[in-house]
Amino acid sequence: MELTLNNGVTMPAIGLGVFQSAPEQTTAAVEAALATGYRHIDTAAAYGNEREVGDGIRRSGLDRSEVFIETKVWVSDYGYDQTLHAWDKATGKLGVDYLDLLILHQPAPDRFEKTIAAYKALEALLADGRVRAIGVSNFMPHHLRQLLDATNVVPAVNQIELHPYFAQPDVQAADAEHGILTQAWSPIGGITFYPGWGEERRNVMEDPAIAAIAGTHGKSPAQVMLRWHLQQGRSAIPKSTNPSRIAENFDVFDFELSTDELAAIDALDTGNRNGPDPDQARPERFAMVIPEA
């Protein structure tokens, strides 16, 4: 299943996420995903595994043009020239000469002028053909307004925390208003752990309402949640390094949720995020240096 971005580029709706995938596990996970049928891999400079993603793509035997590669610029590389160089670092590690989608990892409102400069560098990379689409991650509606007021290219994608317990309808609405595709990280919720955030969280995978829907369709809770994203027009990037789970997360194209089932999942939203608040400055984390190689 393909989604069409606002500049006409198409992107596979389901991608493999590799956040918190150890470098030594990432190559095999990417290789397993591509063997299963995935054609979209999502990584980031801050994950420290771009090189292993590139290795997995090469080991798959697939042509570069067959795999949609998405990565992210970290905050320490914000600024016009720094972000142009971040492209050099990312493509060097991945072993490619262009990126399909390059996005800014955080709005970093404590230094938003550098965020704007970084996005203008993405615009230049897009104009040069060094990236096929550009976007943002973790941008709230007010961040989007500030960005759109200061730049020329509407982001193609906004990647945000999004699962049944935290659906961010206000962000989804702002994205839709501007023709920005909403992409879900932590799309099945409750799996990824952020130290210092969401310690009291409940695991969405154990929700009885989702379990009941899963039983009706003979599917797993994870598959039901991924189907919910797809039917509502979102991109989702489930993370796993387990080959059977990677395959399970891709097996979501042979059933359909009813209107009532979609509404029942929508009704689970608690409004509580598990990950960091994008409006909170994290100077120590933002200062993390991305290595040259």
Q: Which residues lie across from 159 on neighbouring strands?
A: 137, 183
Q: Which amino acid is at 140?
A: M
SS3 68: strand
What pairing do the DSSP bridges indicate for beta strands 40-42 and 68-73?
parallel
In the block, which residue shows the tokens 């193609």?
Answer: 156
Q: Which member of 38, 47, 78, 165 is catalytic?
A: 47
For residue 159, what is the DSSP state? Answer: E
**Among candidate residues 162, 187, 46, 150, the one with its CA nearest the CA of residue 103:** 46
d(CA 61, CA 180): 32
Whether residue 40 contacts residue 11, with contact meaning beta carbons closer than 8 Å, is answered with yes
Q: Is 47 a catalytic residue?
A: yes
Task: Report residue 229 CA to chain centroid gap.
Answer: 13
Look at the block and give the residue holding tokens 């080959």: 243
Catalytic site positions: 47
